[in-house]
Amino acid sequence: MPVTTDKELEPGQDLISILLEAAPIPLVQGDIVIITHKAVAKTEGRLVKLSQVQPSPLALDYGKRYNKDARLIELVLQESASIVRMSRGCLIVKTKQGFTCANAGIDLSNIGQGSAPDHEPTACLLPKDPDLSAQRLYTSLQTRLGFAVPIVISDSFGRPWREGIVNVAIGCCGFDPFTDYRGQADSAGRILKVTRMASADALASGAELACGKLKRAPFVIIRGFNWQPSTLTAQALLRPEEKNFFP
């Protein structure tokens, strides 16, 4: 169930208060809350006016070559730990947080104050440490409610080989981001060996269907998913480099 709000999210605002005021139904035990990364990033002040970015020679050259804003390219480079692909105008990087994605997860839409014609274009960066953000929100929500509600911070990522983007979990707290079938028997008694579903990603992805991009719904309440408590975070969803086949 999406939770919409008319509030323009600004740095320093308390997202949990906004959630609890806007929620159309009271949260109950068993619920999970999905929060868009943009709501988190905005309230954490992860906004950069493009006019304040000084592009490097590399960013200037690449921007010129592919008709892109060099200041945005510079920001992407600054948020990156390494560059995975930089060709044909595309920038796929590994971010400092460990995510492999296009443009370091930076985007210019739904920022609010930076987008109207009389304002400067503003970029929204990923939260510095989305798991820490999730933990902070989780603790705050638990304090207010008196019981624990897991938190997932979602963002939309592209995929190799497949068109369109889907949401994934970039931060989470309070539950096991996997549903682990390994060691369990299937309907015919055969033990499953490798099946581990990335349920946090599926929750993030499913939540997008409920909230959409244009509805001003920074939160989605998920009810009825049988989660297990865990101290694992969204970092567990990142494949260690030595297990990766790509790039």
Amino acid letter at 24? Answer: P
Using rule CB under 8 A, residue 140 touches its own copies: no
Tokens matching residue 12: 């320093």
Among 55, 127, 174, 177, binds its own copies (CB under 8 A): 177
Cβ count near 221 (within 10 Å): 21
Residue closer to its own copies (CB basis): 60 or 236: 236
Q: How far apart are CA 76 and CA 208, in angstroms?
A: 25
Using rule CB under 8 A, residue 43 touches its own copies: no
Of 203, 205, 140, the closest CA to residue 166 belongs to: 205
DSSP H or E run through 159: strand 151-159
Smallest distance from the beta carbon of 53 to its own copies, in angstroms?
A: 18
Using rule CB under 8 A, residue 26 touches its own copies: no
Of 159, 163, 125, the closest CA to residue 47 belongs to: 125
Using rule CB under 8 A, residue 161 touches its own copies: yes
Using rule CB under 8 A, residue 181 touches its own copies: yes
Strands 122-124 and 2-3, bridge-based pairing: unpaired
Smallest distance from the beta carbon of 143 to its own copies, in angstroms?
A: 28
Among 24, 26, 183, 189, binds its own copies (CB under 8 A): 189
- Which sign, positive or negative, has the C-alpha torsion 3, 143, 173, 84? positive
Using rule CB under 8 A, residue 192 touches its own copies: yes
Residue closer to its own copies (CB basis): 64 or 239: 239
Cross-strand bridge partners of residue 82? 94
Among 25, 109, 144, 223, binds its own copies (CB under 8 A): 109
Q: Tell me how far CA of residue 13 lies from CA of 9, 42, 58, in angstroms.
A: 7, 9, 36
Site for its own copies in 72-101 (CB under 8 A): 85, 87-88, 90, 92, 99-100
Residues that bind its own copies in the complex, under the rule CB under 8 A: 85, 87-88, 90, 92, 99-100, 108-117, 156, 159-168, 177-179, 181, 184-190, 192, 195-199, 201-203, 205-206, 208-209, 212-214, 216, 225, 236-239, 244-247
